[in-house]
């Protein structure tokens, strides 16, 4: 390691750079000065043109000052992404299914460790390109308010509370707790009211009610700023309330900075500023757009539009003083990361390559995948199956597919365990395992002599791996099989896959275990009659195949819970372009869905009992403590996800039918009981009025502790009966 630093220092000195100095030439290099003093000195030494280039995502070198190039654009949604080898954790929608913020915190720590290891090596190689830095465009904390959105897979689901807890945990894990240095810079995106359609994202104006805005779309961003101290916020492409999000002083100055106290930098989504004059009609040209962005609170341009900033200053559309103020906030982050300090002063510069994909991170990726898998159906206890069956038939377009492990915004490595590989690795050596792809993901099979339909006759069990992948859903331009810019306007299983499964069922007399992949709901109700057991595995990461196999054979008892409602069909949904929450998500949906939010079965059974409250009448501003006993009433060890929901029983304006306000994972052996406790705080009792204010109205509140959202459907599908109590709030 000493040799590494010596080589790096010599290389930098030979190239004329002194960023990792042993001597101080300028005050901004003096680590004894405050960050504000150092920033002010550096800004004073830059020309206007240099200032503009330092506010681009690809900030070039300034050789005369010894400043290295730096790319602000880096990705780490569920692992360091787009830069080669890294641990690949489950896609975020799968992480949300764990209902485990502590797990997400540990994943954030692991990702930031690998990020520094890769950054240290990239610096040695003089690789200053995109995706090699330590400022990341993650997490995506938009609300998955409509299951048709192709990027919903990147989010933590449809609920603002769950999204807030997962997002804050990720940010804290990524940014570290060193008293001096920021570990990496996380970014809360896409601010705000951004969730499709992808085809309209550059021009759409989202205008929710102020109630929906403050109750649903804003809370996660506020939590990441006020609790997580997130270093960056990315403004979205679309407009909100009539102004481009990256050109809205209300969003970026009034709400974000003045009300919430945000101290970090605002970055645009990539090339969003050009939408000001190409789509939104908010500016006539690049110079006007740049001036609007600066005046509205933007600090970093992901794109190249800020090359027009000098022209904007020359035309007196914005002042150089305003440019200086925006740049100063941005540069603070580089100083906080230690990028202008001697290398040996930063503890993270000592992180070595061997941390990348180490056993601890492999185990963490496996834990996340195992906890994310949701058991949707298990007729007649089909699962788990035995490892020593005489024969198993594996079929489906995703059984041997690695893409469904990766999701999008992903890293890569040489350890990608498919479901086929993992099942074969688990069964007895005497078990006959046959495999056929059966059908292409989106192409009807033409060969009527399809052998796979005949081979199913001899199997004792069939494992069918179907669903959707990144070719069906994703970001604009990403999904090659999508004709709707990555959105899934039809939530059914692709028709050719369904046709094949029907034929499979007709030829099969033994149990069919249906494994579904994807980042959004598959709402074909007929699958319930085709399959004996159904598990939903999302995009489960590099260890996903292992986790799926272990669930199938019972080495893991599934404990994932749905972070999004599965509707029966798109006919139950409001218009995709409508950002009102009426009729959306479990909080406001009145029709019965296919599967409810929070739902997931287990190989054992649980019961809830003995619910207690420390008081049933309180004054406004007081808290209530609630407890309940959970018992494993089955014969298998398991981990239950206890969920706390609140309903305000009488309100002056519409309020959520149920609202998640707490969650705890509880491990229980057969026959074992444990008590869980939650504090119902005043903020959990708040009602959001039509004008967006938060108030606590007097009256009765019903609180539930359950293993799913406490609907009648949850109980019919097999969730434990919830326990509930009512407390009263008085003025």
Q: What is the mean pLDDT of residues 709-723?
A: 97
Q: What is the mean pLDDT of residues 446-457?
A: 85
pLDDT of residue 11: 44
Distance from first CA to last CA of the chain, Å, rounded? Answer: 65
268 neighbors 302 (Cβ within 8 angstroms)? yes
pTM, entire model: 0.96
Q: What is the mean pLDDT of residues 302-313?
A: 98
pLDDT of residue 445: 74
pLDDT band at 7 (very low <50, low <70, confident <90, very high): very low
Residue 290 tokens read as 């740049």
pLDDT band at 23 (very low <50, low <70, confident <90, very high): confident
The CA radius of gyration of the chain, in Å to the nearest whole number, is: 27
- Tokens 């500016």 appear where? 283
Q: What is the mean pLDDT of residues 141-168?
A: 98
d(CA 82, CA 455): 40
Positive or negative: CA dihedral 31, 36, 37, 42: positive
d(CA 233, CA 228): 12
Q: What angle do CA 331, 177, 227 make, to 5 degrees?
A: 80
pLDDT of residue 181: 98
> In terms of DSSP bridges, do strands 205-206 and 187-191 run parallel, antiparallel, or are they unpaired?
unpaired
pLDDT of residue 515: 98
81 neighbors 131 (Cβ within 8 angstroms)? yes
Q: How far is CA 152 from the centre of its chain?
A: 8
Could you write out the three-class secondary structure of 586-632? HHHCCCCCCECCCCCECCCCEEEEEEEECCCEEECCCCEEEEEEEEE
553 neighbors 125 (Cβ within 8 angstroms)? no
Length of the chain: 731
- Tokens 């619910």 appear where? 611
pLDDT for 17 beyond 80: no
pLDDT for 234 beyond 70: yes
136 neighbors 79 (Cβ within 8 angstroms)? no
d(CA 208, CA 142): 14
202 neighbors 274 (Cβ within 8 angstroms)? no
What domains does the chain contain, in order, with CATH numbers? 2-355 (3.20.20.300), 363-564 (3.40.50.1700), 606-730 (2.60.40.10)
pLDDT of residue 268: 98
DSSP reduced 3-state for 152: helix
Q: What is the mean pLDDT of residues 202-212?
A: 97
pLDDT in tens, 423-440: 999 999 999 999 999 999
Q: How far is CA 191 from the centre of its chain?
A: 14
d(CA 160, CA 450): 47
Q: Write out the DSSP string of 307-331.
A: GGHHHHHHTTSS-HHHHHHHHHHHH
Residue 414 tokens read as 């040489």
pLDDT band at 446 (very low <50, low <70, confident <90, very high): confident
pLDDT of residue 48: 98
140 neighbors 189 (Cβ within 8 angstroms)? yes
- Which residues are annotated as catalytic? 269, 473
pLDDT for 6 beyond 50: no
The arrangement of strands across the sheet holding 673-680 comes to 606-613, 624-632, 673-680
pLDDT band at 442 (very low <50, low <70, confident <90, very high): confident
d(CA 318, CA 162): 41
Q: What angle do CA 189, 122, 181 make, to 5 degrees?
A: 60
d(CA 117, CA 88): 15
pLDDT in tens, 398-414: 999 999 999 999 999 99
Helices (H), 134-285: 160-175, 210-212, 219-226, 249, 274-278
Closest CA to 92 of 189, 201, 184, 182: 189
pLDDT for 227 beyond 60: yes
pLDDT of residue 2: 46
Residue-wise over 240-249: b if at least 16 C-beta within 10 A, else e? Answer: beebbbbbbe
State the chain's mean pLDDT as an integer.
95
pLDDT band at 583 (very low <50, low <70, confident <90, very high): very high
pLDDT band at 21 (very low <50, low <70, confident <90, very high): very low
Q: Write out the DSSP string of 251-266.
A: IIIIIIIIIT---SEE
Q: What is the mean pLDDT of residues 33-46?
A: 98
pLDDT of residue 5: 44
Considering all CA atoms of the chain, what is the largest pairwise distance in Å, rounded to the nearest integer? 80
Q: What is the mean pLDDT of residues 628-641?
A: 98
d(CA 186, CA 136): 5
pLDDT of residue 450: 86
φ/ψ bin of 621: left (φ > 0), alpha (ψ from -120 to 50), beta (otherwise): left
Cis peptide before 69 (omega within 30 of 0): no
Residue 723 tokens read as 């326990």
Q: What is the mean pLDDT of residues 211-225?
A: 98
pLDDT band at 67 (very low <50, low <70, confident <90, very high): very high
Q: What secondary structure letter does DSSP report for 68?
A: P
309 neighbors 55 (Cβ within 8 angstroms)? yes
């Amino acid at each position: 390691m000493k040799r590494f630093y010596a080589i790096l220092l010599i290389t930098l000195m030979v190239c004329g750079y002194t960023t990792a100095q042993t001597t101080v030439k300028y005050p901004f290099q003096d680590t004894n000065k405050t960050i504000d003093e150092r920033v002010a000195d550096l800004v004073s030494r830059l020309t206007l043109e240099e200032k503009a280039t330092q506010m681009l995502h690809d900030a070039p070198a300034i050789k005369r000052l010894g400043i290295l190039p730096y790319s602000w654009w880096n990705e780490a949604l569920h692992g360091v992404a787009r830069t080669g080898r890294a641990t690949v954790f489950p896609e975020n929608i799968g992480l949300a299914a764990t209902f485990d913020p502590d797990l997400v915190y540990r994943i954030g720590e692991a990702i930031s460790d690998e990020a520094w290891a890769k950054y240290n090596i990239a610096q040695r190689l003089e690789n200053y390109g995109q995706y090699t830095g330590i400022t990341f465009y993650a997490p995506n904390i938009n609300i998955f308010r409509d299951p048709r959105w192709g990027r919903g897979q990147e989010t933590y689901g449809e609920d603002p509370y769950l999204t807030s807890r997962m997002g804050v945990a990720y940010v804290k894990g990524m940014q570290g707790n060193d008293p001096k240095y920021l570990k990496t810079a996380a970014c809360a995106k896409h601010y705000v009211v951004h969730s499709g359609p992808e085809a309209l994202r550059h021009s759409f104006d989202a205008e929710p009610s102020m109630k929906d805005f403050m109750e649903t779309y804003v809370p996660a961003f506020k939590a990441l700023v006020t609790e997580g101290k997130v270093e960056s916020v990315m403004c979205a492409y679309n407009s909100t309330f009539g102004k481009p999000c990256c050109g809205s002083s209300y969003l970026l100055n009034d709400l974000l900075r003045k009300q919430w106290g945000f101290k970090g930098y605002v970055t645009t989504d990539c090339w969003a500023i050009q939408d000001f004059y190409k789509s939104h009609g908010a500016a006539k040209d690049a110079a006007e757009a740049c001036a609007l962005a600066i005046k509205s609170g933007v600090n970093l341009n992901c794109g190249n539009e800020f090359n027009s900033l000098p022209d904007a200053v020359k035309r007196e559309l914005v002042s150089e003083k305003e440019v200086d103020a925006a740049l100063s906030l941005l540069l603070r982050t580089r100083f906080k990361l230690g990028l202008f300090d001697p290398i040996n002063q930063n503890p993270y510069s000592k992180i070595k390559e061997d941390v990348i994909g180490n056993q601890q991170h492999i185990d963490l990726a496996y834990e996340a995948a195992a906890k994310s898998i949701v058991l949707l159906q298990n007729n007649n206890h089909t699962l788990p199956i035995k490892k020593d069956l005489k024969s198993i038939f594996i079929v489906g377009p995703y059984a041997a597919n690695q893409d469904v492990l990766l999701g999008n915004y992903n890293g890569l490595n040489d350890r990608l365990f498919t479901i086929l590989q993992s099942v074969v690795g688990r069964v007895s050596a005497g078990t006959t395992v046959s495999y056929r792809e059966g059908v292409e993901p989106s192409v009807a099979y033409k060969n009527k002599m399809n052998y796979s339909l005949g081979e199913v006759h001899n199997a004792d069990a069939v494992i069918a791996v179907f669903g959707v992948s990144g070719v069906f859903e994703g970001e604009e331009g990403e999904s090659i099989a999508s004709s709707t810019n990555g959105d899934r306007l039809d939530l059914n299983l692709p028709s050719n896959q369904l046709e094949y499964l029907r034929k499979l069922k007709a030829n099969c007399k033994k149990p069919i275990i249906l494994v579904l992949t994807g980042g959004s709901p598959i709402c074909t109700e007929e699958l319930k009659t085709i399959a004996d057991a159904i598990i939903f595995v999302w995009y489960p990461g590099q260890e996903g195949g292992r986790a799926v196999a272990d669930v199938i054979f019972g080495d893991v008892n599934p404990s994932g819970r749905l972070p999004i409602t599965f509707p029966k069909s798109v006919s139950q949904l409001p218009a995709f372009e409508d950002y009102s929450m009426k009729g959306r998500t479990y909080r406001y949906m009145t029709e019965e869905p296919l599967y409810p939010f929070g739902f997931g079965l287990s190989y054992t059974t649980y019961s809830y009992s003995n619910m207690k409250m420390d008081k049933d009448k309180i004054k406004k501003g007081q808290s209530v403590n609630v407890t309940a006993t959970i018992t494993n009433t089955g014969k298998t060890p398991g981990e239950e996800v206890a969920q706390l929901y609140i309903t305000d029983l009488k309100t002056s304006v519409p309020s959520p039918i149920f609202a998640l306000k707490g969650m705890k994972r509880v491990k229980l052996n057969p026959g074992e009981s444990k008590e869980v406790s939650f504090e119902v705080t005043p903020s959990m009792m708040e009602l959001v009025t039509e004008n967006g204010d938060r108030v606590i109205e007097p009256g009765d509140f019903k609180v539930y502790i359950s293993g799913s959202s406490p609907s009648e459907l949850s109980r019919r599908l097999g969730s434990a009966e919830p326990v509930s109590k009512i407390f009263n709030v008085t003025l």
